[in-house]
Amino acid sequence: MIYVLRGSLNLGVNDVPIQMNAGEIQIINGGDVHYFLASPNSERIVIQFDLAFFQQDKKSNEQADLRRLFQTCVSSSRNWDDAIRSKMRELILTIHEEEQNKQSGFEYATKAKMLEMLVLLYREVPKNVATGENILRDEAVLKSQETLETLDEIFSYIEKRYKEPINLQEMADLTGFSTYYFTKFFKRNTGMTFVTFFK
């Protein structure tokens, strides 16, 4: 999420040029290709959401729900009500201030404000109207992201423990899959069995 403190900011999101002015907010999804162009005399605050930061239970669908939330929200604050824009601006500025000052307990204050921000996104920020085609595309992207995250988790685990014996049940427990499903998942996404890979 980007907030322009002062001046004008030029950026591109998925090859679409966007000019933001002071006081405006832009939501950029994790999978979007984005870049900043030279914008003299502008100042911005960037809030990055680490979805794992909000995840309570590894086996829940919470990360998927959060990803879907960011994908469905209307991305530019130009299309939000003034009251919503004002609430979001206050949250962003408070988070920025907490991170700058780093007073005792600032991590908790920051997390609390980010949770408030999520509630605001869920309840008040307007949502895009989804077409059947968009839903299918988003579901495919979401599934792909979840698969990559699971594979990353598997490879990180193996990398940290490659000198230790690792069994199939251990990996199944790590991912929350049955051993049968883990075996199929691993083969389908890597082209080899887990046993072959681990040798």
Contact between residue 8 and residue 22 where contact means Cβ atoms under 8 Å apart: yes
82 φ, ψ (degrees, to nearest 5): -55, -40
- Whose tokens are 């870049």? That residue is 35
| Residues 6 or more apart in contact with residue 88 via CB below 8 angstroms | 25, 77, 80, 117, 120, 125
Residue 115 has pLDDT above 70, yes or no: yes
Residue 39 has pLDDT above 90, yes or no: no
Task: Tell me the per-residue pLDDT of 138-176, one tens digit each, with 9 for 90 and over.
Answer: 555 555 667 777 878 888 888 887 788 888 888 888 888
Residue 29 has pLDDT above 50, yes or no: yes
**CATH class (in words) of the domain with range 148-198:** mainly alpha
Instruction: Name the β-bridge partners of 19.
Output: 10
From 69, 62, 49, select the one nearest 113 (Cα to Cα): 49
Mean pLDDT of 18-30: 88
The reported pTM is 0.61
Task: Tell me the per-residue pLDDT of 46-84, one tens digit each, with 9 for 90 and over.
Answer: 988 876 666 654 445 555 577 788 888 888 999 999 999
